[in-house]
Structure 1
């Protein structure tokens, strides 16, 4: 094929309008999958992790690869643009477009084959990297490139972006680790591509039809532009910008798969991938080297690269200080050596000694480091990696600093020029008034990450952002670098590619695009004929969000709900499938709208003018997305930017149901403290009423409670009634503590309260229990009845005020109620000094004993235990004190890292939530209970966790920490003391009916 046969480059031009209704109808008729053209779904996919936003035409979630092929055919029939999306974490805008979005991640995540001997596997595009590597672990193999988003990024997205990550130091980019791709062109050609020898390339070029046309064009592109490719493509490890035309060169064996890697869904749809695998390193050692500043640290990179490290990363003092300010990774930060900048250097070895010796040799070779330390254990290494992998989130929303944005996020230069490049980049940032943003990244390969405090809400700020990007592009090109070293071009950098490659190669990119996608239907406006970098901004000069009045104060977001809704940066950690707590409903459904990110996106769209979500607090789309939020608060800790979806949900429900009837469950479980207090007057009658045949079903229906659930029986005697009879005892040499009588301990499991009194008194405390009816307001908060919650909390403050002002600790036994005092109350009243005292003086039982009675020794229990942390323990209070206390008592604790129990307060009891509740428990808790050794204790401080375990009938009845310690004091085996399931009788049932009538009358009176 001669040069004149090359197609003319694609030029973005107006396209014929697509009829979305007809398109949706045909997709539904022909595609085996979920077809979504509703406002909520379109809003969900309107943006990625970038500065850009484009509302899609619709979304298709195919169940099979074949269904995706059919979806492309329907789009072709209608001339609809198409965007193939992985995890949606792209930082350059390539995962949002006015197109039909194909989301592979829910269903198409199969590992199709593994060839252990040849170190190959075949996968579908929706498989998550960490999930793939878990499945490969039995072969001793892994996929080498490992981006920081490895818990949630998909292989399809990695292929689209040519991802790298820290391990690219050892294994290279994705383009270096793909053997073959099965691809589909927009016009319907489906084929496997990979390295192609000259004879095979000639044979394919001679074929008639589209296959021959494409291969003839590729050969012509290679021949015409070979000289320019060799001259203008920077010879650096991290050139990700532009198309991989260099893959067509003879030394790369005319690798068409390599050419298509990194093409960002602009050329083809990837259907399957054959990946090259590498052995899992036997042992790793991590060296942390300290330096006086980040540029000096970078100056040492060339010498360190000579030691052949497995990984070589850079971290500056700003990232460390930002994480300190946000209380991120506190234990890991203590492991850093002296210095204001750090290099993380990891070595692999066949033995621990070999890896350690290589690390020691490096330390000896860098005598001018301000500090150094070697870690050979995986626990410390994992902690330190969290510092680095938290970089994007930790630098986005820093207290008392302006928000930062991508825009010059991942430039790359030769590794021996990083120090000088950083000095030039920092000077440029100062010149534009952006201060000193954090810089960190993959220094061993010259890739620098940063987020910059661009003003994206004014015309002047946007213009400055554009000017900065143009100057920064000139700077990186002057150093022989690449605009993108990891995250691709998308819209952030595509307009600047001419600066890096020159006009001839930009023309070649257009010709390649025209060869595969002559109609410009594949992700148009990205890489080739791109939108301007200051176009389609998520904010922009016209951004004027709705700023509603709220019940919560949002002190971390300047008191503004619209700022809170903007907090999510789209990194997608909430879509991880293992570890931590976030996000249980996503793990159970693998559905974007049931992730923390999905809900945050809809809330952002709710407050954004000109959005598909246009009904404010009355939005059904937001309500439906929040319906499966378990309010576990896992995101408050696990999310790198601390999105607090439980609080946002409570706020939304408060307004959504204002002035109109609420769901039935809000009256039954939301008002549980009232019903429990009434039931406490005649618990036998209340239990009989709840178990009366026939009436039980009516009660559940009337209360919006799942039919599959059993109603927990009330205790025969409440804890507060026992306390009134018993009173305080002991000398209290350590002073007085207030033991909080939460509704769940008081009315359902009072034996826990009695056990706590026994333990506290043995430890030398004098126990006090409020002598008035009090409540933290938890159930009203979780159902969004915030006015009542505030009144309940105000009454509690009145009762506790004197104790709080004396500095008396308040001990919480139920984690969810304790979390209200430690978190929610201060969100409602951030400036009230008594609320601050309540927050600061509230302690868990374990915290109080370890902090205020450090010389008290818990009694020996000497048992093994499976421990289910309550989500609020994990997210708000922490569990370190519990670990310490259990270890001191001789309890061999297996603390599950399996997330939420699934019941989560009222969530698992509500009608319509039962199956999701069980699915969440099956992700970790239930399997752990089934496989536990006989005789193992089950420890769960949360009422919800205990109830979920009890009703599943798996293993022994779960016990609270207080019960374990109290049993040790008595020399007895820990066991749960729970209300016995009641046997109904006619007299008790009549009493129960009278009680129900009284409860209804009280409820009506309160509503008035």
Structure 2
């Protein structure tokens, strides 16, 4: 039974009717096999999308199948509740939030039901992600669904149909509407039918059959015939997305009801299935980058490029490049741009590379013969092309939170004009931005279709600011219409532009839109207040003049968010990149569960609602927030992969610190959170401790008492003291490169001391004099990850006191465990605030690879194999290294020592400190590892090394009994120094226990 904790809403419609949420939830729970969520937390998760708007839904249904969808709509009809279909939830115009029952198709209703590569057709359910669909169909003749929005890795086909999405490739493929053949739809009154192009014979057959299907088609035909001249007068431009696509009803377009419904934003029907047309994507591509003095000049050049029929034609300005540079985004790509203040990105396709390159050369030749030739760079290699695309596809988020600048927002991000008028439009638009004081806004978009994207520094929290926002949008709409344009070029109208449609079409056409909607939804229960009968564009704002979030005192400083946790909680802009099902590290729990609450975005939304205090009212003790954060692995992947650098690991630690203040914590917080202390105690009798935790019965009891999953194999504590060995040994090498401080992290020192010994051997052979702190130190990682931040602060402060002499002498600090090293590069500053020794520590901390490349560039030991062939390895990158430290130095070092390394795109290993060590997280933990990592390890040839610098990663691989023992890069380099051949077993290159014969070599 669903939990109901909300007031009774009244929805706006032609017939006002109060909805009883408790009764509705009870009905849905009886009839729906999927998930019925009417609790406060679930409603908060879906209260907004990627737009400026916020409307808390009545409830959420996550259907298991299409029968659940039908049952949901039926129950809503009986209770008079509005309905809203939702896919990826990234919409920028507010069409994906409403006081309605939201049906989230993305988790389960996402199947490919039929595929005919010969006919180039596919039938899909609405929740399927575009990239997943294309990954399947492209195996057959390179067939894809052509339109490709920047959100292609996580947007759903249903959402694309709802918005009539386009993306960069619409220059070649056309809009979504152009690629939809038929739709199976469900009306609010329960009518279920397939619609599409309707010949006269088919129309007669439908009328003869009678019923509601006949009535709908009859009224649509009557609307069309009565207004045919008006429909033929709609603006002719590639991106006319605003309003309903009524010209599709004309005879010359086949009375295509399906295409008329594309772009209706869930305001008319619920889409159950879609039959799509597929196109063969060009197998080879070449890209031309054209540099111009400014964005207006670049736009004026668009008509010169279009006749060459490019596959893609995009534009972007120097502000976007500057903002990405400030945020350290895509540094490898920014230097590829030719000189200029704005650029056109032109891509050509062909069956061969020569064909694509020839098209590119023809364009360049013609432009160079013109009066004002641009600067030019041409690429035909996939790597550079992909790097450039990353720059363009990150534009929305890249411009949202630029350091030392006002936040930018959507609101006028999606206008389109005829391409030949784009230059004039941009000239006047830039003037308008300057007039309103919004001159920092970056301009970019799909210039080949005349479509402009921008995020603008609107003031959304004061009365004057919101009034200015509205005034600007109204002026911009007038400007767009004066240039023959469409208010929306692909993102839809929703609430942002619905109110403005009379400016574009006039009141008579808007009444036609209302009539069209009423044919399908006479009671206005389908996503009311969007497109037609629209809510005000400055109403239901996510922020607004009454936005007054709590500003709680915190442990972390949040310097990137003006020292405000509330601002940090509002950092997410809803772009949804955390909802990918593969690629990168973020977000491992979402990749496994597919559930919004387990995405970075979902958790950020709940924290935003928590400090807002309206829907989520429990503050730091709110259980909905705790539940969502529970499956956060604190991998920090979002700190790097999220375009606006949401750092959910830090937010989770902060939340846990307050959530458990003065309360009993989970047992693993005491055992694993205090691991540094327990490890030092275990050194007194490591053999006895190891025997105890492995003993039948007693070991299980000990794990239960510690809150550890009894099925986990506990790592063995070292049999000898690494520190004692280090103190007693005779230093080797010349030390001519100066001293370095080897950081004695808990995991390496007490659990994997052979790695530390190997690192000493490497550093001394490379010419360094290795030192270690004379007093006990710790980075505090385990206390940070379990939210024991007061202790972590004290531990770090003491550590800085111990390290101060080394730091002030400029000595490098070498870390071997990525998670601990990451603390020094990031968390110290965030937790302790401004501290000179803390800043020195962050600046002087190096990974082993970084140190060797920077200070010993001529140190190049070479690995060898018994066969003389280049040794191979697969590499698992620790998620904190990916997020905080970077991995380029490691790959470079592996190349230098002669290792052929395959760095897996496997994301987080799933163990993630204490996360995977508990019973309640076991399923998710192992599922993360089974997604890529463990299958890769099992499939690896025995002679191939498995490298994992992170202790958690090595433990996960070993505990899963994947049949391999992973090793640290320090051990590999040490083996290269010794000239030891890499054989079938990595143990051949390992330094084992301190004090053993190999350690003395």
| TM bucket, shorter chain | over 0.9
CA distance in 1, matches of 2:519, 2:207: 13
SS of the counterpart of 2:452?
A: strand
* Residue 877 (1) aligns with residue 880 (2): no
| 1:469 match | 473
How far does the alpha carbon of each residue in 1:565-607 deviate from its partner, in whole angstroms, 9 at most, with x for none? 0000001000011111000000000010000000000000001
**Deviation of 1:700 (Å):** 1.2
**Deviation of 1:13 (Å):** 4.3
Give the counterpart of 2:734 among 725, 731, 736.
731
| 2:696 match | 693
**Deviation of 1:758 (Å):** 0.7
CA distance in 2, matches of 1:11, 1:761: 75
| 2:92 match | 91
Contact 2:81 2:101 in 1 (8 A): yes
**1:406-485 aligned within 5 A:** 406-485=410-489
Contact 1:439 1:449 in 2 (8 A): yes
SS of the counterpart of 2:227?
A: helix
CA distance in 2, matches of 1:888, 1:11: 67
> Which TM-score applies when normalising by structure 2?
0.96
**Deviation of 1:932 (Å):** 1.6
**Deviation of 1:658 (Å):** 0.6
SS of the counterpart of 2:620?
A: helix
Give the counterpart of 1:218 among 220, 236, 239.
220
SS of the counterpart of 1:532?
A: coil
**Deviation of 1:719 (Å):** 2.1
**1:392-791 aligned within 5 A:** 392-609=396-613, 611-726=614-729, 728-791=731-794
Give the counterpart of 1:803 among 793, 806, 809.
806
CA distance in 1, matches of 2:508, 2:730: 88
How far does the alpha carbon of each residue in 1:538-580 deviate from its partner, in whole angstroms, 9 at most, with x for none? 0111111100111111111000000000000001000011111
SS of the counterpart of 1:447?
A: coil
* RMSD across aligned positions (CA): 1.3
CA distance in 2, matches of 1:821, 1:117: 57
CA distance in 1, matches of 2:239, 2:97: 24
Contact 2:757 2:991 in 1 (8 A): no
Give the counterpart of 2:846 among 835, 843, 848.
843
How far does the alpha carbon of each residue in 1:42-91 deviate from its partner, in whole angstroms, 9 at most, with x for none? 00000000000000011000100111111111111111110010110000
**Deviation of 1:199 (Å):** 2.3
SS of the counterpart of 1:306?
A: helix
Contact 1:288 1:373 in 2 (8 A): yes
CA distance in 2, matches of 1:43, 1:883: 43
| 1:382 match | 386
SS of the counterpart of 1:372?
A: strand
Could you say if the C-alpha distance between residues 369 and 703 of structure 1 is closer, same or farther in structure 2, counting changes exceeding 3 Å?
farther
**Deviation of 1:137 (Å):** 2.4
**Deviation of 1:979 (Å):** 8.2
| 1:144 match | 146
Contact 1:310 1:346 in 2 (8 A): yes
**1:23-34 aligned within 5 A:** 23-34=24-35
CA distance in 2, matches of 1:718, 1:224: 90
| 1:247 match | 248
How far does the alpha carbon of each residue in 1:906-950 deviate from its partner, in whole angstroms, 9 at most, with x for none? 110023001100111111101211222231110000000000001
Contact 2:285 2:349 in 1 (8 A): yes
Contact 1:708 1:914 in 2 (8 A): no
| Greater shift in the superposed pair: 537-546 or 689-698 | 689-698
**Deviation of 1:101 (Å):** 0.4
SS of the counterpart of 1:717?
A: coil
| Greater shift in the superposed pair: 519-528 or 719-728 | 719-728
Contact 2:863 2:975 in 1 (8 A): no
Contact 1:713 1:979 in 2 (8 A): no
CA distance in 2, matches of 1:303, 1:939: 52
CA distance in 2, matches of 1:393, 1:11: 33
Contact 1:316 1:439 in 2 (8 A): yes
How far does the alpha carbon of each residue in 1:83-103 deviate from its partner, in whole angstroms, 9 at most, with x for none? 010110000000000000000
| 1:116 match | 117
CA distance in 2, matches of 1:60, 1:875: 34
CA distance in 1, matches of 2:853, 2:386: 26
SS of the counterpart of 1:347?
A: strand
Contact 1:225 1:505 in 2 (8 A): no
**Deviation of 1:159 (Å):** 0.5
**Deviation of 1:170 (Å):** 0.2
Contact 2:149 2:168 in 1 (8 A): yes
**Deviation of 1:830 (Å):** 3.3
| 1:3 match | none
Could you say if the C-alpha distance between residues 646 and 11 of structure 1 is closer, same or farther in structure 2, counting changes exceeding 3 Å?
closer
SS of the counterpart of 1:540?
A: coil
| 1:359 match | 360
Give the counterpart of 1:957 among 946, 961, 965.
965
CA distance in 2, matches of 1:896, 1:647: 26
| 1:304 match | 305
CA distance in 1, matches of 2:941, 2:425: 58
**Deviation of 1:37 (Å):** 0.4
Contact 1:287 1:374 in 2 (8 A): yes
**Structure 2 unaligned runs (5+)?**
1-10, 865-869, 994-1001
| Greater shift in the superposed pair: 716-725 or 315-324 | 716-725
Could you say if the C-alpha distance between residues 617 and 749 of structure 1 is closer, same or farther in structure 2, counting changes exceeding 3 Å?
same
How far does the alpha carbon of each residue in 1:506-545 deviate from its partner, in whole angstroms, 9 at most, with x for none? 0001101111001111001111111010110001111111
**Deviation of 1:721 (Å):** 2.1
**Deviation of 1:207 (Å):** 4.0
> How many residue pairs get matched?
969
| 1:46 match | 47
**Deviation of 1:370 (Å):** 4.4
* Residue 161 (1) aligns with residue 169 (2): no
Give the counterpart of 2:195 among 185, 193, 197.
193
How far does the alpha carbon of each residue in 1:804-852 deviate from its partner, in whole angstroms, 9 at most, with x for none? 1111100000000000001111111331111111001100000111111
SS of the counterpart of 2:872?
A: strand
**Deviation of 1:321 (Å):** 0.1
**Deviation of 1:168 (Å):** 0.2
How far does the alpha carbon of each residue in 1:262-284 deviate from its partner, in whole angstroms, 9 at most, with x for none? 10000000000011001131101
**Deviation of 1:659 (Å):** 1.0
| 2:829 match | 826
CA distance in 1, matches of 2:609, 2:518: 35
| 1:69 match | 70
CA distance in 2, matches of 1:667, 1:405: 43
SS of the counterpart of 2:397?
A: helix
How far does the alpha carbon of each residue in 1:5-58 deviate from its partner, in whole angstroms, 9 at most, with x for none? xxxxx9944621111111111101011100000111000000000000000011
**1:253-332 aligned within 5 A:** 253-332=254-333
Contact 1:290 1:369 in 2 (8 A): no
| 1:930 match | 938
CA distance in 1, matches of 2:666, 2:319: 47
| Greater shift in the superposed pair: 370-379 or 250-259 | 370-379
CA distance in 2, matches of 1:206, 1:690: 77
SS of the counterpart of 1:520?
A: coil
CA distance in 2, matches of 1:922, 1:779: 25
CA distance in 2, matches of 1:202, 1:292: 59
